[in-house]
Amino acid sequence: MVARSARSLTLPLHTERLLIRELEPKDEDAYAALYANRRVNRFLPFGARDEAGARRQLAAILAGRARSRRDAWELGVELQVSAGLMGACDLTWHSSREAEIGYLLDPAYWGTGLGHELVRGLLNAAFGELGVARVLAHVEVSNRRSIALLERTGLAWEATLRRFAQVDSRWWDVHLYSITREQWSGQG
């Protein structure tokens, strides 16, 4: 077992167009609408699938921040030029060797390059401030847009995990994608 060291993430994170920040109580309505959107949640094996579930999920995230040892950052995403939640993401620190990312955006922003920018921002934080050696992401096997996004950002397919999760009597298969610090640095 790898010993865990102190870790922190300085927020907010900034990309060219995005502000990646802590979720706040004021985000509740936008967060609930985002997770209740069928176009968004159809590829999510975990997390809320309706407004009530999203409101409970956000309340749990906000309450969980009080823990002294933080291993996961569930974050809001907004455009720097306009305040308002338009996505969510997470960065989970597994060990000094590995972190995991996840993300979702309002469909109004799909195809704009913001997903690519968001993933790059998360990778910069994971390899930079958290100092991990490898970052991974799970993606539902039929989520072609997210697969393409991960590949464009430099992550490579590593494995297909059959029956990875069961939600509402449906088994989800996912692809595991990853990138190492050396691969990320070599993209320069």
CATH value of 13-185 in 1.10.3720.10, 3.30.750.24, 3.40.630.30, 3.40.718.10: 3.40.630.30
Q: How do the domains of the chain map onto residue ranges?
A: 13-185
Is this structure's pTM higher than 0.85? yes
Nearest one of 123, 90, 122, 88 to 106, comparing CA atoms: 88
Distance between CA 132 and CA 98 in Å, rounded? 5
pLDDT tens-place values along the chain, 188 residues long: 334 445 789 999 999 999 999 999 999 999 999 999 999 999 988 778 899 999 999 999 999 887 667 788 999 999 999 879 999 999 999 988 999 999 999 999 999 999 999 999 999 999 999 999 999 999 999 999 999 999 999 999 999 999 998 877 889 999 999 999 999 998 86
* 45: region left, alpha or beta (phi > 0 left; psi from -120 to 50 alpha): alpha
Nearest one of 65, 69, 70 to 91, comparing CA atoms: 70
